[in-house]
Amino acid sequence: MTDDEKKPHRPSGPLRVTAGALAGAVAGFASLALAELVSAAVRPQAGPVVAVGGAAIDRTPATVKDWAVRNFGTDDKLVLQLGILAVLALFAFALGIAALRFRKAGAAGVLLFGVVGALAATGRPDSRGLSDALPSLVGAGAGAAVLLVLAGRLARREPGSAEDPANGGGFAPDSAEDPANGEGFAPDSAEDPADGGGFAPCSAEDLADGEGAGPGSGGDWDRRGFVIAATAAAVASAGAGALGRSLNGASGRDAVASRDRLVLPAPGSPADAVPRGAGLRIPGVSPFITPSGAFYRVDTALVAPKVDATTWRLRVHGKGVSRPVVLSFGDLLRRDLVERDITLTCVSNEVGGPYVGTARWTGARLADLLAECGVRPPSHGGPADQLVARSVDGMTIGSPVEDVMDGRDALLAVGMNGEPLPFDHGFPVRMVVPGLYGFVSACKWITDIELTTFDAYDPYWVRHGWARRAPVRTQSRIDTPKPFARPAAGPVMVAGVAWAQHRGIDKVEVRVDDGPWQEARLAAEDSRDTWRQWSFPWRATKGGHTLTVRATDRSGRVQTERRTRTVPDGASGWHSVVVTVE
């Protein structure tokens, strides 16, 4: 601990320690606030919390990320950011208390956090280079300065020591000697040339602290000065932070305006109306079309990119692309647009989980565009077997060229449920490929398509432990009754959804306890690319029961009982629900 404890006549009172922690908190707040302001000049994604969060997400093993998605769902990002802030707050308190004794070490600690933030920001896949380091570095510099000043106010005064009034409010000229540092972290400043011209403001009060305050000196600290300086720093930081926030908010304005102005052209090939009876009106069963606002969201972006459609470009290039192109959003809208109902599933969806939804997508057919660029699928002698889509935030997603060109409705989607894509779901353009999990097909905020091979390139999720190829597994889910429901004995409607995109669902069966499998009623099919609802009227008898469901797809494959984890290519197994009939 500090030398203070060895000097019983000069105990670090709880008030001074609290003030030290507060000084650290104010310095941390100043760092983040200034970083926010500078990030508005650089770009919002270069802010330290976003950058560190992003870097943490990238370094999180698939199993942990999967756990986070499972437990926090779409709130996983909020939880991560709150976690980062909580950790930062703890370090800020600690550095503030440390700065009571080791002022420069405390400030250096703040700078170290700036370096961490800067490294995280410049190391992001979408980094624009060294400028991304600025928010963290400038913020940490300001935080370190604030900590030095505040710790100066907390330094003990020796009664009768010459107090320089200039030191009252901030950056004081360096003292020729800084005995306090002699016992602390930094080398004695008398021999420290860096100290002469450095930015560490060392006040005359330092002379009073440490060795200067010999036995018998009942030193105290500058409470009034501390309160004034801390309040001033906090208020200035709040102002800088608020300004940064509003500037950052405004930076997406062009993107928001481009989305607001957008009127999607009517698709040349509209989707048929959802067949009557495809959506069972059974309470508790997911609606057939998932409203965009309720559609699951899974991505690595802490802040959803806001892309301006008017400046958006899509480049198609790579192996076997004899006619590379760069398309504007207008170019894309002028193509023949199709509208299709397609169910999208996340590979992180556990058996019975919520990461599956169906939307009516509008978009251009990807296969046609690829063919115009001279791309041939491997089965027609094309040299590229992997299509790598890249998003504006650096995400890379690899799909089999064969699949996207085999005639299925692989789309460059611009619309979701009749509206331009929401920002969270990829505005202005994303891919959607029926039959493939999202992580190998559904690149949001897409800006580049490169034709390559599976041998030559591993995209993001593959580098994180997931499979190279991942067709959707045949799955079914009981939506009602809910787990641990207590229905009354008698007729109980068991119902839910089943999916096997691009193959189609042909049969769903329900089993009560260890009884025989009984066929459920299938709702009308929209298309083989969408999920299918089912229902099973059950005569429920009193007591505890386990309901289990399994589906059979159109290729005749029965959903396997074998339980697997989501990593690397999707969970398998049967969904069961335990209920108590009363």
Ligand X SMILES: Nc1nc2c(c(=O)[nH]1)N[C@H]1C(S)=C(S)[C@@H](COP(=O)(O)O)O[C@H]1N2
Quick one: which segment of 42-50, 147-155, 388-396, 526-534 binds ligand X (CB under 6 A)?
A: 388-396
- Give CA–CA dist 453/459, Å, rounded: 11
Rounded to 5 degrees, φ, ψ at 400 are -70, 130
Q: Is residue 361 part of the contact set for ligand X (CB under 6 A)? A: no
Residue type present at position 577? V
Long-range contacts of 168-173 (CB under 8 A, 24+ apart): 168/222, 168/225, 169/225, 169/228, 169/229, 169/232, 170/201, 170/229, 171/145, 171/201, 172/201, 172/202, 172/203, 172/204, 173/201
Q: Select the residue interacting with Mo ion from 439, 460, 536, 538 (CB under 5 A).
A: 439
Q: Is residue 69 part of the contact set for ligand X (CB under 6 A)? A: no
Quick one: which segment of 140-148, 155-163, 292-300, 474-482 binds ligand X (CB under 6 A)?
A: 292-300
Binding mask 445-484 for ligand X (x = CB under 6 A): x---------------------------------------
Quick one: which segment of 39-47, 194-202, 341-349, 481-489 binds Mo ion (CB under 5 A)?
A: 341-349
Instruction: Report in angstroms how near the CB of residue 354 gets to ligand X at its nearest.
Output: 11
Which of 459, 487, 491, 341 shows the shortest CA–CA distance to 409?
341
The upper half-sphere exposure of residue 490, i.e. CA atoms within 13 Å in the direction of its Cβ, equals 2
- Give CA–CA dist 208/163, Å, rounded: 10
Instruction: For ligand X, give the closer residue by CB, 104 or 340.
Output: 340
Instruction: Report in angstroms how near the CB of residue 299 gets to ligand X at its nearest.
Output: 3
Q: Select the residue interacting with ligand X from 52, 137, 233, 298 (CB under 6 A).
A: 298
- Give CA–CA dist 541/198, Å, rounded: 81
Q: Is residue 267 part of the contact set for ligand X (CB under 6 A)? A: no
- Give CA–CA dist 166/99, Å, rounded: 21
Q: Is residue 442 part of the contact set for ligand X (CB under 6 A)? A: yes
Size of the site for Mo ion (CB under 5 A): 5
Quick one: which segment of 97-105, 320-328, 441-449, 537-545 binds ligand X (CB under 6 A)?
A: 441-449
Q: Is residue 299 part of the contact set for ligand X (CB under 6 A)? A: yes
Which of 16, 520, 525 shows the shortest CA–CA distance to 278?
525
Q: Which residues neighbour 529 within 8 Å (Cβ) at sequence distance 6 or greater?
A: 340, 341, 342, 343, 408, 409, 434, 435, 501, 502
Instruction: For Mo ion, give the closer residue by CB, 347 or 375.
Output: 347
In the range 398-437, which residues lie near ligand X by CB under 6 A?
Answer: 425
- Classify burial at 196, counting beta carbons within 10 Å of its beta carbon; exposed 0-12, middle 13-18, buried 19 or more: exposed
Quick one: which segment of 183-191, 216-224, 329-337, 438-446 binds ligand X (CB under 6 A)?
A: 438-446
Q: Is residue 179 part of the contact set for Mo ion (CB under 5 A)? A: no
Q: Is residue 102 part of the contact set for Mo ion (CB under 5 A)? A: no
Largest CA distance in the chain: 94
Q: Select the residue interacting with ligand X from 29, 93, 113, 295 (CB under 6 A).
A: 295
Instruction: Report in angstroms how near the CB of residue 438 gets to Mo ion at its nearest.
Output: 4
3-state secondary structure of 234: helix
Q: Which residues bind Mo ion (CB under 5 A)?
A: 298, 346-347, 438-439
Q: Which residues bind ligand X (CB under 6 A)?
A: 295-300, 344, 346, 391, 393, 395, 397, 425, 438-439, 442-445
